[in-house]
Amino acid sequence: MAKRPETNVGKWLEAILTGRGEVAQALLPGLKADREGTLAQYEVLRIASQRLVRQRFVDDPDEVEIVEMIAGIMAVSEGKIEDPDRLEEILRSDLGLTPPFIDEYSGSNWRCRSVLAVWSSGAIQLSDDGASRLVVEAEKLARQAGARPSLAEPSRASRLFRGWTR
């Protein structure tokens, strides 16, 4: 079994990538409350999103693939992506087709990156262990880049049984 994410954003990202929406929803208030860690959280999401997009498009993507991906995302986004041009800009930048843009935290960028990560993970059929490994690696790279995402609180069960061994 793969190592599990240690940060709040890592646990949230692992939950959305593995289709555990109720877990992701339960973790969301903790992410929103952590205003000091917002930039660090975004760095973990940015790294994971970029890696997933690059895995999705192993070969150089053609224009049709990019347009179809954006159209597919917009068709199911239910208005959560207000700026399809920003979504395309992030996608093209992650693929190295355009110069990098100033990728800073904003609600719009967070939603675009979240959707790109989920869409790409579905396209490559990312396993649960694969999702865990990807998120753990993104946490590690974010820390190496100087980001300090908040560590997740241990669950009640793990606090109760901490130190017990067989």
- Report pLDDT for 81: 85
pLDDT one-digit tens code per residue, 42-59: 999 999 999 999 999 987
How many C-beta atoms lie closer than 10 Å to residue 64's C-beta? 8
- 117 and 49 Cβ atoms separated by less than 8 Å: yes
* Average pLDDT of span 6-24: 93
Rounded to an integer, what distance in angstroms lies between the CA atom of residue 22 and that of residue 97?
A: 35
- Report pLDDT for 101: 73
Its sign, for the CA torsion 140, 144, 149, 154, is positive
Rounded to an integer, what distance in angstroms lies between the CA atom of residue 147 and that of residue 86?
A: 24
Give me the chain's average pLDDT, please. 85
- 41 and 34 Cβ atoms separated by less than 8 Å: yes
Q: Which residue has the higher pLDDT, 80 or 44?
A: 44
The structure's pTM equals: 0.84
Judged by phi (left if over 0) then psi (alpha if -120 to 50, else beta), residue 19 lies in: left
